[in-house]
Amino acid sequence: MTESSQDENIEVFTYSEIENIEGFIGNFDVTIRKKARSVDMAKCTGCGECVQKCPTKVPSEFDMGLGKRKAIYTPFAQAVPNVPVIDRDHCLKFLKDKCGVCQKVCPADAVDYTQKDEMVQRKVGAIIVATGFSLFDWTVYEEYGGGRYKDVITGLHLERMLDTSGPTEGKVIRPSDGREAKQIVFVQCVGSRDEAKGVPYCSRICCMYTAKQTILLKDHIPDSQSYVFYIDIRAAGKNYEEFVKKAQRESGTVYIRGRVSKIYDRGDKLIVQGADTLAGERVEIEADLVVLATAVVPNPDAVKLAQMLNMPYDQYGFYTEAHPKLQPVESVTAGVFLTGSCQFPKDIPDSVAMTGAASVRACAVFSQDELTIEPKIAWVDPEVCSGCFNCMEACPFDAIISEEYQGRYVARVRESVCHGCGNCAATCRTKAVNVKGFTDEEIYAQIEAPFFEEEVEVA
């Protein structure tokens, strides 16, 4: 991150959102909302004095609420740029017009409470979408406590606890009473592979991060014991199977094949009720801490961006690639590429490989002066077009624009955007639109050819 933020050819917008995208491959116009940071990025030196002196403490989003952050903060230690932002929903200055300590202590005079959102325009040739994923809200599982038990946490909570520079400095504790956890139960597929309450697909990353967490737990707490309730161990990747076996054999993680039916409390313990289908026995475990591997789901606003980019998405909200096997990093919209878990759940090596591929595909767009496209695209005869623009409505790719022709407005197809689906041609009342190679004359000629062979001239 630091490296790319310092590269002269890379402009990084943080704390910003895409407001609007217009145009097409090679000519996108992007409107970016730079949200009011309340700190002048040019003046701030990143000394952190303001963060230290800020009196307001808020649960940290990055630490999954396990730690606190200030109202003026950087989300995590390595965040780029090292410039804090004021959380206006919690800052006393914005809530009650009191305090103002950060402005007083800032040696660079960088704090500016009057800053407003700023709109920035950029022209770009290609777009790579890497908006990532979100996690399934597991509290729909009433049988797992539905969020009532503090010691039922998710893998991301545990990940923060295992971090030696995290909120607990590497200690794995029970959030309820702060005691160190010794008997830890992991529950796989919470939301994943559950058509009734969750999503039908496999989230792909949970088996491996759970194995990793059990190994780390054994390292952090040598007298701890981890149990993993699973449906299948999906360890398909280089050295993945070996890694899971390492967890089982060297760290003594006990894998139990079956979904957990219920979690309830008895005294200060959580009773995890499951079955081991391999032994054919019902089992219960008295746990200190239960860690749920929650499903990977699309971001809640994924569809909004897809609509901005005229990009298809699937029934869940994951962006659809142009071809599942042969064009895995291209979206259907020319010039828009996909990478990472916004397309489907992916682990780190897959995401890195895909990002490399998407970057090179974007470079390929720039490497040539002219774009080579499929010849089978629509064309409007401006002499015939009546200017009703029904075709514009029919086009799923937003390829048709209105253009002046001899004093009146007619439809025109933007060649680089058109996919040749033929919707416009079918809609046109005056037969002004045709897909090249598929005009009525050409299709009739093909039909007639076998019957009137002698009349066909072969060019």
Partner 1 sequence: MPEILNRGDIHAFKNEVLALIGQDASRCIQCGKCSSGCPIAYEMEHLPSQILRFIQLNMRDKALASNTIWLCAVCETCTVRCPESIDIAGIMDALRKICRREGVMPGDKKIAKFNEIFLNSIRGNGRVYELGLVMKYNMATAQPFKDALLGPVMFGKGKLKVAPDKVQDIAPVKAAFSKAKTFIAPKAKE
CB closer to partner 1 out of 282 and 304: 282
User: How far is the C-alpha of 229 from the C-alpha of 213, rounded, in Å?
Assistant: 14
Residue 252 CB, shortest distance to partner 1, in Å, is 6
Three-state SS letters, the chain: CHHHHHCCCCCCCCCEEEEEEEEECCEEEEEEEECCCCECCCCCCCCCHHHHHCCCEEECCCCCCCCEEECEECCCCCCCCCCCEECCCCCHHHHHCCCCHHHHHCCCCCECCCCCCEEEEEEECCEEECCCEEECCHHHCHHHCCCCCCCEEEHHHHHHHHCCCCCCCCCCECCCCCCECCEEEEEEEECCCCCCCCCCCCCCCHHHHHHHHHHHHHHHCCCCEEEEEECCCCCCCCCHHHHHHHHHHCCCCEEEECCCCEEEEECCEEEEEEEECCCCEEEEEEECEEEEEECEEECCCHHHHHHHCCCCECCCCCECEEECCCEEEEECCCCEEECHHHCCCCCHHHHHHHHHHHHHHHHHHHCCCCCCCCCCCEEECCCCCCCCCHHHHHCCCCCEEEEEECCEEEEEECCCCCCCCCHHHHHCCCCCEEECCCCHHHHHHHHHCCCCHHHCCCC
Which residue reads 């955007």 in tokens?
A: 417
Q: Taking a C-beta distance cutoff of 8 angstroms, is the pair 302, 169 a contact? A: no
Residue 180 CB, shortest distance to partner 1, in Å, is 16
Q: How far is CA 284 from CA 125, 147, 235, 331, in A?
A: 58, 20, 26, 47
CB closer to partner 1 out of 130 and 254: 254
CB closer to partner 1 out of 224 and 341: 224
Residue 310 CB, shortest distance to partner 1, in Å, is 48
CB closer to partner 1 out of 89 and 223: 223
Residue 217 CB, shortest distance to partner 1, in Å, is 15
From 29, 25, 122, 30, select the one nearest 361 (Cα to Cα): 25
Residue 422 CB, shortest distance to partner 1, in Å, is 53
Angle at 333 between CA 382 and CA 351, to 5 degrees: 170
Residue 67 CB, shortest distance to partner 1, in Å, is 30
CB closer to partner 1 out of 183 and 299: 183
CB closer to partner 1 out of 96 and 249: 249
CB closer to partner 1 out of 44 and 275: 275
Residue 146 CB, shortest distance to partner 1, in Å, is 22
Q: Which amino acid is at 16?
A: S
Residue 198 CB, shortest distance to partner 1, in Å, is 25
CB closer to partner 1 out of 176 and 273: 273
CB closer to partner 1 out of 40 and 276: 276
From 104, 122, 123, 121, select the one nearest 113 (Cα to Cα): 104
CB closer to partner 1 out of 98 and 245: 245
Q: Taking a C-beta distance cutoff of 8 angstroms, is the pair 255, 107 a contact? A: no
Residue 254 CB, shortest distance to partner 1, in Å, is 6
User: How far is the C-alpha of 390 from the C-alpha of 123, rounded, in Å?
Assistant: 29
Residue 187 CB, shortest distance to partner 1, in Å, is 15
Q: Which residues bind partner 1 (CB under 8 A)?
A: 183, 225, 227, 245, 248-249, 252, 254, 256-257, 273, 275-276, 278-287
Residue 232 CB, shortest distance to partner 1, in Å, is 11
CB closer to partner 1 out of 149 and 379: 149
Residue 197 CB, shortest distance to partner 1, in Å, is 23
CB closer to partner 1 out of 225 and 339: 225
